[in-house]
Amino acid sequence: MAARAKSPPGRPSSARERIDHAAYELFSRHSIRTIGVDTVAARAGVAKMTLYKHYPSKDQLALAFLRRREELWTRSWLQAEMERLGATPGAKLLAVFDLFEAWSRRPDFEACAFTKALLEHADARHPVRVAVRGHIATIRAFLVELAKEAGTRNPARFAQQWQVLMIGCLIAAYAGEADAVRNARKVGRLLLESEGLRAARARR
């Protein structure tokens, strides 16, 4: 089982690849707002003018980061591992907490980059906030499909409840609550049981 969200693979070669790699690592580890383009350029080993040639504004760089984070974190890691670990829809849903549990206990646990970006951008029309809301909708749609497959009575409502557990336990874990993910899993199991569903533990 993957213990954490994936990082960009390989050694970047072109200037743009180095910029993308540096932005991914810095924005994931810290946040979009706390990292300036000077820091990204220095980490990438390029001049600031070179960075602006590829990304004319920090917002565009941030949006590229969020797209890459969704591909690497959401699709290639989270969704893929949930599908791999769960033999049934209910087990797939619970598998998210097994993944989060291992990830949250790593010393380099950075929590959810999307949540951090959302909290940093209060303007509902800001492109970063709009992109994060799109990501939340992508996760919700995936959860709705699993909820439908599991046979829940109201898949949309169930998916919303499940996503609240996912977001909440990561924030709590990032705040230092060691058992946050484990407790969220217990609540998730109760939610499944309230629907008349039982799920075996995820595959190892």
CATH of the domain at 45: 1.10.10.60
Is the per-residue pLDDT at 3 higher than 50?
Answer: no
* pLDDT computed for residue 199 by the predictor: 64
CATH number at residue 138: 1.10.357.10
How would you label 49-66 residue by residue, b for 16+ Cβ within 10 Å and e otherwise? Answer: ebbeebbeebeebbbbbb
**47-75 mean pLDDT:** 97
Token couple for 25: 């690592």
Give a yes or no: residue 202 inside a domain.
Answer: no
Residue whose structure tokens are 């954490």 = 4
| Residue range(s) defining the domain that contains residue 103 | 58-194
Compute how many other C-beta atoms are within 10 angstroms of the C-beta atom of residue 164. Answer: 12
Q: What is the pTM of this model?
A: 0.88
Question: CA-CA distance, 104 to 3, in Å (whole number)?
Answer: 9
- Helices (H), ranges, 1-55: 15-29, 37-44, 48-54
Judged against a pLDDT cut of 70, whether residue 129 lies above it is answered with yes
Number of structural domains in the chain: 2
CA atoms of 65 and 21, how far apart (whole Å): 9
Percent of the chain at pLDDT > 70 equals: 91
Q: Do 129 and 70 fall within a single domain?
A: yes
Residue 169 near residue 97, CB atoms below 8 Å: yes
Mean pLDDT of 156-170: 98
Among 7-16, 59-68, 77-86, 181-190, the range scoring the smallest mean pLDDT is 7-16
What element of type H or E holds 138? helix 127-150
